[in-house]
Copies of this chain bind each other. A is one copy, B any other.
Amino acid sequence: MSEALRYKPGRIRDENQQSILAAAEQEFVRQGYRGATMQGIADRAGLPKANVHYYFKNKANLYRSVLDRIVTLWNAAFSEISADDDPAIALDRFVREKVRLSFAQPRASKLFAMEIISGAPHLGDYLRDELRGWVDARVAVIDTWIAQGRLTPCEPRRLIYLIWSATQHYADFETQVLALDDKIEYSAQDVNDVAEFLSRTILTGCGLTPPADRAHG
């Protein structure tokens, strides 16, 4: 008997939970929290509706689990920047990381966006307690760069929002971008083009020389 088929305690449980979470993410993005149905989520996961209630006690609990997973993903992907870093290299890395994440996890980005646009009824605490601290720390780093004369004065907060919005756009507004570009789906080339364009434009906009330019001349 192969390794893959041998019994592992909790294996089926884990697999079912993961497929329910993935199905729920899709349904919540397409229909919103109230619009999504437990039946629709169960159908998409290929399980009876009662099993969804068995693994996740109720709809609110399931939604919260999906959001928790996204928040964990966000926190893990937030690149560290410190005042010792070179501003151009740190911001370039920040932009590229966000672009990569947007193209890799578009549904997570979309669900997060829907939650915020709806007024963040389930994520208000996260914004105030966790995300605000993260932003404040980055603002402090950018302010230090400015004080040291290594970065043209700007409003650090607006710079962070600019990077977030410009990168997330390709995930959240995927439908619009694909329709306007007359494409069926993104290519690997698109990820690089977008990262290159945004890093170059935003860094230049801040008065910095993009790392790639320096390498070539």
Contacts and interface: CB of A to CB of B under 8 A. Distances in A.
A33 B35 CA distance: 7
Interface string A162-187: 10111011101101110111100000
A70 interface: no
A209 to B, nearest CB: 12
Contact of A204 (B162, B198, B205): B205
Nearest to A131: B180
Contact of A166 (B162, B179, B206): B162
Contacts of A116: 172-173, 175-176
Interface residues of A, number: 56
A34 interface: yes
Contacts of A132: 179-180, 182
Contacts of A114: 32, 114, 117-118
Contacts of A200: 205
Nearest to A197: B158
This chain: how many copies in the complex?
2
B119 A175 contact: yes
Given A154-B197, A172-B113, A204-B205, A118 B180 contact: no
A185 to B, nearest CB: 13
A155 interface: yes
A157 B173 contact: no
A131 B177 CA distance: 11
A117 to B, nearest CB: 5
Contact of A161 (B30, B118, B120, B169): B169
Contacts of A172: 113, 116-117
A2 interface: no
Contacts of A29: 117-118
Ranked 3 nearest A-B pairs via Cβ: A32-B32, A34-B35, A205-B205
Interface of A: 29-36, 110, 113-114, 116-120, 124, 127-128, 131-132, 135, 154-155, 157-159, 161-162, 164-166, 168-170, 172-173, 175-177, 179-182, 193-194, 197-198, 200-207
